Homo-oligomer: A and B are copies of this chain.
Amino acid sequence: MIKVGIVGGTGYTGVELLRLLAVHPDVQLTAITSRKEDGLPVADMFPSLRGRVNLAFSAPDNVDLTKCDVVFFATPHGVAMAQAPALLAAGVKVIDLAADFRIKDKDVFEKWYKIPHTCPELLDEAVYGLVELNREQIKGARLIANPGCYPTTMQLGFYPLLKAKLIDTTSLIADSKSGVSGAGRKAEIGTLFSEASDNFKAYGVSGHRHTPETSAQLQRYTDSPVSLVFTPHLVPMIRGMHSTLYARLTSDIANEDLQALFEKEYAGSAFVDVMPFGSHPETRSTRGSNMLRLALHRPGNGNMLVILVVQDNLVKGASGQAVQCMNLMFGLDETTGLQQIALLP
Contact = CB atoms under 8 A, between A and B. Distances in A.
Interface string A191-220: 111111111111101110001000000000
A114 B171 CA distance: 36
A238 interface: yes
Interface stretch (A89-97, A139-147, A295-303, A318-326): A295-303
A192 B194 contact: no
Interface stretch (A42-50, A66-74, A115-123, A156-164): A42-50
A239 interface: yes
A19 B340 CA distance: 9
Interface string A270-294: 1001010010111111111101010
Contacts of A235: 200, 235-236
Given A201-B280, A246-B229, A283-B200, A345 B195 contact: yes
B189 A308 contact: no
A48 B52 CA distance: 25
Interface in A19-64: 19, 22-23, 46-52
Nearest to A282: B201
A154 to B, nearest CB: 14
Interface residues of A, number: 90
Given A188-B187, A231-B244, A306 B205 contact: yes
Interface stretch (A99-107, A175-183, A257-265): A175-183
A15 B177 CA distance: 27
A244 B175 contact: yes
A233 interface: yes
Nearest to A276: B44
Contact of A341 (B19, B270, B285): B19
A237 interface: yes
A293 B329 CA distance: 38
Contact of A300 (B207, B275, B345): B207
A27 to B, nearest CB: 14
A207 B299 contact: yes
Contact of A47 (B171, B197, B285): B285
A202 B235 CA distance: 13
A343 B345 contact: no
A342 B287 CA distance: 12
B51 A273 contact: yes
Contact of A205 (B230, B239, B297): B297
25 contacts: A12-B194, A15-B345, A46-B344, A47-B282, A50-B275, A50-B285, A50-B293, A177-B200, A179-B194, A180-B192, A192-B193, A193-B193, A193-B195, A193-B197, A197-B198, A198-B239, A199-B282, A200-B283, A206-B297, A206-B298, A207-B300, A229-B246, A229-B300, A236-B236, A314-B345
